[in-house]
Amino acid sequence: MDINKYRPTGKIGNKHFLTFLDYSTEEIFELLYTAKRLKAEHKAGVKHGALSGKTIALIFAKSSTRTRVSFEMGIRQLGGHSLFLSAADIQLGRGETIHDTVKTMERFDINGIMIRTHKHSDVEELAMYGTIPIINGLTDLCHPCQVLADLLTIWEHKGKLEGIKLAYLGDGNNMANSLLAGCTRAGMEIAIGCPEGYEPDQRFVEDAMKTGRATVTHDPAVAAQGADIIYTDVFFSMGQAADGKKYESLISYQVNRRLFAYAKPDALFMHCLPAHRGQEVTEDIIDSPASIIFDQAENRLHAQKAILYHLYGG
Ligand code: CP
Ligand code: NVA
């Protein structure tokens, strides 16, 4: 489906934002149209009160720059309050259950939880036991907030999503999983180029393969061939120890001038950040005019405001 021909209805059926596997193409397009509108209105100084009187808890069990700041600013811009909670400082970090945590939060009139954590099942349990909206701010399995911002960024730069080829090179991690689900739902093509043993999660691969627009290859040049977008992420995700074997496996997937040359002449470079220059990408690529990494970062704000806007009824 072509996003430019889609006519937004202002509605999505989901109560939470946990993974793109729960979202339809239409729902993703709704979020993208809302993000685009909220971004334009923000730049024009239009004020919104969609979260007026609401408090959203932001629970972090892992570090963050972009997710934390963009959620805090986005909630503020929508007239709400955020409550930053480091998982290490609340009882959750000492083993209190997800069930008891969400039940307690609701008694204090917390209206929603954004959580960044390790186990994806923790996010699912929050949604299962609680009655308030839950937003996934990254788990070991997926990072849908980032990919929603990425889709907005690609739409802005390429003017469309349908038929755009994104090549993801590197570790088959949470980013690879969410890109598989997000890009295929948006009508894009996606090629994952990853080493043997570092493939994305099977559920996301099977889901994406059904569309006929996804491939997983161990040859980085095959993945990059004719791509409109070259995307990469860190070799070692948060919570993973740096090990030599994984480094050796991934270094031939490094995005450098040689590999970038397989993409289209007007190809763009993307990275969710934080980046390690000289590891997954060379400086001459990430700091080149083809790189749109800070547009991606900015769009976290607008994409997440759209998620909040919809979950709280606009
Ligand atoms: N891309 C991303 O989620 O960045 P942070 O880890 O800084 O939040
Ligand atoms: N794969 C990375 C993404 C960081 C935004 C990680 O999980 O650390």
Tens of pLDDT, residue by residue over 47-93, are 999 999 999 999 999 999 999 999 999 999 999 999 999 999 999 99
Q: Please tell me which residue in 77, 142, 145, 146 is annotated as part of the active site.
A: 146
| Catalytic status, residue 146 | yes
Catalytic status, residue 37: no
CA-116 nearest atom, ligand 1: 8
Q: How far is the CA of 49 from the centre of ligand 1 (A)?
A: 26
Q: What is the CATH number of domain 3-142+300-313?
A: 3.40.50.1370
Q: 7-27 pLDDT, tens per residue?
A: 999 999 999 999 999 999 999
Tell how far the Cα of 300 is from the centroid of ligand 1, in angstroms. Answer: 9
Ligand 1 centre and the CA of 171: distance in Å?
Answer: 17
**Smallest-distance ligand from the CA of 139:** 2
Q: Where in the chain is the domain with CATH 3.40.50.1370?
A: 3-142+300-313, 145-296
pLDDT (tens digit per residue) in 114-158: 999 999 999 999 999 999 999 999 999 999 999 999 999 999 999
Q: What is the mean pLDDT of the chain?
A: 98
State the pLDDT confidence band at 251, using cuts at 50, 70 and 90.
very high
Residue 313 has what pLDDT? 83
Atom 6 of ligand 2: nearest residue by CA position: 237
| CATH code of the domain occupying 145-296 | 3.40.50.1370
Q: Which ligand is nearest to the CA of 173?
A: 2
Q: How many residues does the chain have?
A: 314
Q: What is the pTM of this model?
A: 0.98
Instruction: Find the DSSP H helices in the chain.
Output: 25-43, 66-77, 98-107, 120-129, 144-158, 174-185, 202-209, 220-224, 244-250, 257-260, 283-286, 293-311
